[in-house]
């Protein structure tokens, strides 16, 4: 079975490819424009096509060349705040790109589609943990673009017989157990990598936005799902759609979540660093608790998480970040003198304290 993985050089996509490549019966083709992904994250020996899902001609060439049976779609702009300031860019990339991809599938008679969606489609949930059939009320353009694609998929099934699975989740985190691939965003906005940057001397402290929420310690509670567990869920969704020939939507959540302070404390335990914290004002629009359930995925797909504690998750992330302090692409020789010093100091387990100007200029 030939599978095109769109966004297979990105964070979640690369972990899916790594896991899928260990299983027999699949020929994998990674399609990525490398605007956010990294060629070094692609598993060795896997076919790679540099292309953009918004480029119809490029998609035609890839589909004609490889003749896939399944498409797994991870390509998306994902920063909530950026989606508010650049909604048109988000609709172009997330929605228009998906439409072009579906048109290529229709032309080449590809009937199976696995979509990496988001629990952001639920907005401020009425119930926690968020059930699979919760009302969808996105409160930002990012969530709305994903929900729009889900609606397009339903209408496309009605018109052309496409079968699809949508997987909805919040915070992908952690890294492959080998430490060879992990999370590398520029700029980084996710909590766990930001915390670990403090332990590596890349930041002076981690900021906590609000400590007066109605939670156990006053900080926000969020779902954290290990990226390999998400990869496993996508593989199980693939097996389901091929076997059952049915469309379905699944939430992928922990059902409990962790506070910001609990994640910081786990990182302190794993790294052995004090990781100073600074409390800032709340950010507008941050709900106190966002947790998804996974009842349907557990019952129908038989999905079970391997990484069940925040300590286990952080440990894998730490292994990756220690081995790849500057991410995939940055060569040590190309770094500034200050960043080279940070790299050397962090590699022996000490904390480098950058100055304010270093942090502002990203030296």
Q: Which residues are catalytic?
A: 142
Q: Which of 131, 173, 136 is nearest to 293 (CA)?
A: 131
**Contact of 254 with 223, CB cutoff 8 Å:** yes
Query: 279: how many CB neighbours lie within 10 A of its CB?
Result: 13
Angle CA 117–122–128, to nearest 5 = 115
Strands 277-280 and 258-259, bridge-based pairing: unpaired
Cα gap 181→261, rounded to integer Å: 26
Provide the H-helix boundaries in the chain: 11-20, 56-66, 80-85, 87-90, 97-107, 141-160, 191-199, 227-244, 260-271, 295-296, 310-323, 337-347, 356-361
Region for 127 from its dihedrals, namely left if φ exceeds 0, alpha if ψ lies in -120 to 50, beta otherwise: beta
Q: Which residues contact 187 (CB under 8 A, 6 or more apart)?
A: none
Own/partner contacts of 121-124, CB < 8 Å, gap of 24 or more, are 121/146, 121/147, 121/150, 121/168, 122/168, 122/292, 124/287
């Amino acid at each position: 079975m030939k599978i095109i993985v769109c966004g297979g050089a990105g964070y979640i996509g690369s972990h899916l490819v790594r896991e899928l490549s260990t299983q027999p019966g699949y020929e994998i083709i990674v399609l990525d424009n490398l605007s956010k992904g990294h060629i070094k994250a692609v598993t060795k020996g896997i076919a790679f096509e540099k292309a953009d899902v918004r480029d119809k001609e490029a998609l035609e060439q890839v589909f004609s060349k490889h003749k896939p049976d399944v498409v797994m779609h991870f390509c998306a702009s994902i920063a909530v705040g950026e989606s508010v300031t650049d909604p048109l860019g988000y609709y172009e990339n997330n929605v228009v790109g998906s439409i072009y991809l579906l048109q290529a599938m229709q032309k080449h008679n590809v009937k199976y589609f696995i979509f990496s969606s988001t629990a952001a489609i639920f907005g401020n949930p009425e119930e926690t943990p968020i059930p699979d059939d919760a009302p969808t009320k996105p409160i930002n353009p990012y969530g709305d673009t994903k929900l729009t694609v889900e609606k397009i998929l339903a209408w496309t099934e009605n018109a052309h017989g496409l079968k699809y699975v949508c997987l909805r989740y919040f915070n992908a985190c952690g890294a492959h157990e080998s430490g060879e691939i992990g999370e590398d965003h520029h700029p980084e906005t996710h909590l766990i990598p930001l915390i670990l940057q403090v332990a590596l001397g890349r930041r002076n402290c981690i900021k906590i936005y609000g400590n007066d929420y109605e939670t156990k310690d006053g900080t926000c509670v969020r779902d954290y799902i290990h990226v390999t567990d998400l990869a496993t869920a996508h593989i199980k969704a693939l097996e389901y759609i091929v076997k059952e020939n049915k469309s379905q939507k699944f939430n992928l959540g922990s059902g409990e979540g962790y506070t910001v302070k609990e994640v910081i404390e786990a990182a302190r335990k794993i790294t052995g660093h004090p990781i100073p914290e600074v409390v800032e004002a709340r950010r507008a629009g941050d709900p106190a608790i966002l947790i998804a359930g996974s009842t349907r995925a557990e019952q129908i797909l038989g999905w079970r998480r391997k990484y069940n504690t925040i300590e286990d998750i952080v440990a894998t992330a730490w292994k990756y970040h220690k081995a790849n302090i500057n991410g995939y692409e940055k060569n040590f020789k190309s770094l500034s003198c200050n960043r080279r010093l940070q790299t050397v100091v962090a590699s022996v387990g000490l904390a480098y304290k950058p100055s304010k100007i270093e942090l502002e200029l990203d030296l």
